[in-house]
Amino acid sequence: MTPRPLSPEPSPAIRPLATPAGSDKRRCGLLGRSVRLLVLAGALWSTTAIYPGAASTATAASPSFTWTTGTTAGPPPLRNPAMAYDGDTQDVVLFGGTLPNGTLSNQTWVFNGTSWSAAGGGPAARSGASMAFDAVHHQLILFGGLGANGNYLGDTWAWNGASWYLDTPSGALPPGRQGAALTADPAGNLVLFGGTGIAPPAAGTNQTTTTLGSPGSSPAAGATSVPAVSTLDDTWTWDGATWTQATTPPGLTARTGAAAAFDPVHDVTVLFGGAPTPDGTGTALADTWTWNGTTWMQVTPATNPPGREGAALVGDPVVGGAVLFGGSDQGIPIGDSWTWTGTTWTPLSATGAPPATAAAAGAYDPAGGKLIVYGGYAAGGAPVASTYMLGAAASPLPPAPVATTTGSPLVTVPTVIGRTNPTPTTAGSQPASTRPLPTTTVTTSAGARITAPPPSTPPAAVEKVRPGASVVLLGAGFRPDAPIRVTFHSVPQTIGTYTSSSTGTFSATVTVPVGAAAGSHHFVMSGPGPSGTYKTLSTAVLVVASVAVHEHGGLQTPIMVGIAICLPLGTWMLLGLIVRRRPRSAHPA
């Protein structure tokens, strides 16, 4: 898969900080311990579940929008696949789903904005899994789904840009489920809600957990009881390492197939609708809820879309909010589109609308400025294999001229380094490789665009640091007074969470982890940008072994001690020679 540069539109211009030609090394202490001053520059990444930004009103390049049909070559017809945009590789990733013959898929597909490509297998086949991109921890997370043997899965997988690996969270885990809503939230985590699964036994009961041949099947011979398959009403958050259960208010009733997305324009997670019964026979719900990172709040819009479950809800900064498409009510597909404005829903007027579709997957592709919808089922219930894209109807800008140099130095564009992930645990799978580095397109102050390919080796100006050394990180372009998380890669380590200034700048003195292995690493600052998109700044450091890091410092102490001893001794000997010679010159021969 070849990463692609950001499109000239509708992504905003990216202006990296100018990096000084020389590093500012501030000496302190008798032996000259240095504090490295690193100015971070980086690309502005948007994701399907875009990280929170300032609440602002975004307007599209044009007041009109249009649906277009994408390539017909790609995944097979699928209903209930999982799909999300990977902000690191700048591709839309799709996994699983139900095929026309009723079997489940375990295939991974990648969409680069123009074409689909098969990316091999992955976790066990499943349908109705939940997928979202965790931009803070650079993880594309897949959770749960309905397995081929009818079991509700509760495993957590992460995509590293080339393969899947099984994550093993510590602590409590969400019960297995399908049809759950999963998306980013304003706190920088992922939030999971509802779905269909086995309800946990109530306190004091003696339910027996048994393997079901299929949802709703009869108890196995000799079983005393079978847990009831039901819709769920629990809320969980994912922080990159653990799942934590949160409180669900009484009004947010159990449901499956609810639609949820992070709205990057209004800095809030939105949840709409769902079905109150596992089989979708009940009247679909039409309530709207928002999640601020800690609490669910019910909203009473002036206008509501008709109730539905299995709809696609995607944050779209071009349209100006979260876009709701399709879904079904009691098995009948719906074909309308709505936009969440922050306070109410408004019908979205767009030409070329797809046919009524339910159980499709949706994601926003910021590199192409398009909302992508794939699969689902139309009237009759058969899965479809259509790719639809929603975007502004305005004509695209002509390609920008390639920047050339006329004696001035090139603009250096550090890129965000993905995580090096552990080896997948599935039998026969290949080790997970390092996430490919995305190319980056920036706009200089002169208006020219420069596309920088991913560096294969660390830049020549990379700072050399030792484990335990102090480093000053500087950055700009964040939302004022926003939480900024600093991590150290390759294997991600959280350094700390800091706060940007009132002007969106950032400065922090951090420490290179003591256990950092020798080699190339990156400090990464992650936080909300001023316009509702997620911003990542990165700078490379070269960690060298302690004996090598000191270079001259390793000999500094004995040299200084030698000088301290030899200088007065030499001075005393020189004075002695002068004194001896003076008497001789006073008595000529």
Q: What is the pLDDT of residue 533?
A: 60
Q: What's the length of the chain?
A: 589
pLDDT at 295: 96
Measure CA 138 to chain center.
4
pLDDT band at 504 (very low <50, low <70, confident <90, very high): confident
Bridge-based pairing state of the strands 370-374 and 44-45: unpaired
In the block, which residue shows the tokens 């400065």?
507
Residues 425, 430, 431, 436, CA torsion sign: negative
Q: Which of 46-50, 138-142, 413-417 has the lowest mean pLDDT?
A: 413-417
Cα–Cα distance for residue pair 163/184, rounded to 1 Å: 22
Q: Please report the pLDDT score of residue 246 as a whole number.
A: 97
Q: Which is higher by pLDDT, 30 or 347? A: 347
Span 538-565, pLDDT tens digits: 777 888 865 433 444 445 555 666 666 7
Q: Examine the pLDDT at 381 and tell me if it is beyond 60.
A: yes
At 457, the pLDDT band (50, 70, 90 cuts) reads: very low
C-alpha–C-alpha distance, residues 250 and 196, integer Å: 18
pLDDT attached to residue 156 = 97
Task: List, in sequence order, every residue forming a beta bridge with 28; answer none if it has no partner.
Answer: 33
User: Is the model's pLDDT at 333 over the cut of 90?
Assistant: yes
- pLDDT at residue 408 tops 70: no
Q: Residue 124's CB: how many other CB atoms inside 10 A?
A: 17
Do residues 109 and 117 make contact, with C-beta atoms less than 8 angstroms apart? yes
What local confidence, expressed as pLDDT, does residue 471 receive? 85
* Backbone φ/ψ region at 336: left (φ over 0), alpha (ψ -120 to 50), beta: beta
Backbone angles phi, psi at 54, to 5 degrees: -65, 140
Beta carbons within 8 Å of 345's beta carbon, 6+ residues apart: 288, 301, 303, 304, 305, 324, 338, 339
Could you tell me the pTM of the whole model?
Answer: 0.61
At position 512, the amino acid (one-letter code) is V
Q: What is the dihedral sign for C-alpha 60, 266, 524, 498? A: positive
Tens digits of per-residue pLDDT, 203-236?
A: 433 333 333 333 333 333 333 445 689 999 999 9
Residue 201 has a pLDDT of: 59
Spatial separation of the C-alpha atoms in residues 357 and 32, rounded to whole Å: 67
Instruction: Tell me which of 487 and 288 has the higher pLDDT.
Output: 288
The radius of gyration of the chain's CA atoms, rounded to the nearest angstrom, is 29
Q: What is the pLDDT of residues 263-294, one digit of tens each?
A: 988 999 999 999 999 988 889 999 999 999 99
pLDDT at residue 346 above 70? yes
Question: Cα torsion for 62, 63, 68, 70, to the nearest 10°?
Answer: 50
